[in-house]
Amino acid sequence: VSEKAVIEGKVIIEDGVRVMENAVIKGPVYIGKNSIIGNNTLVRGHSHVGAECTVGFGTEIKGSYLGEGCQTHMNFIGDSVLGERCSFGAGTVTANWRFDEKPVWVKIQGSLVDTGRAKLGAIIGSRTKTGVNVSIMPGMKIAAGARIPPGQVVVKDVEG
């Protein structure tokens, strides 16, 4: 853990984790074995970073679950769930708050359901990969193994 990193609150850091300069971790947060928390990152608010993840430069993780082996770089991941081995290109963001400030809805078996949540990002299956500058709107579900090309705006669920 770098002397220039800030760690506050209840934070569990497993063996082999590296926390780089200017990283900020505000608990409650869990960081799994052999993960890297990169320079100028922020991990906060009930987040879980699985083993062998790289939370790369300039990324913010807020209230989210990242499965093992996820890779990020200059991303915002808010109120989201990522399966294992997801890879986010630089600039990919999960929007967690609707622009019109209404509650987030999700589609379940063809019907829209009100989650009752003001903030909800995305639910993303394992091995999903995004290109640079992908925007994922609130409440989207993305199937395991999906590939989202650079510059896309995800406004509907991505099926497998």
Catalytic positions:
73
Instruction: Name residues whose C-beta falls within 8 Å of residue 62's C-beta, 6 or more positions apart in sequence.
Output: 42, 44, 45, 47, 76, 77, 78, 79, 96
Asked whether the beta carbons of 62 and 77 are under 8 A apart, the reply is: yes
* 134 phi and psi angles, rounded to 5 deg: -95, 135
Asked whether the beta carbons of 49 and 32 are under 8 A apart, the reply is: yes
DSSP 131: -
What's CA 74's distance to the chain center, in Å? 11
The encoded tokens of residue 7 equal 């760690």
The encoded tokens of residue 84 equal 């294992």
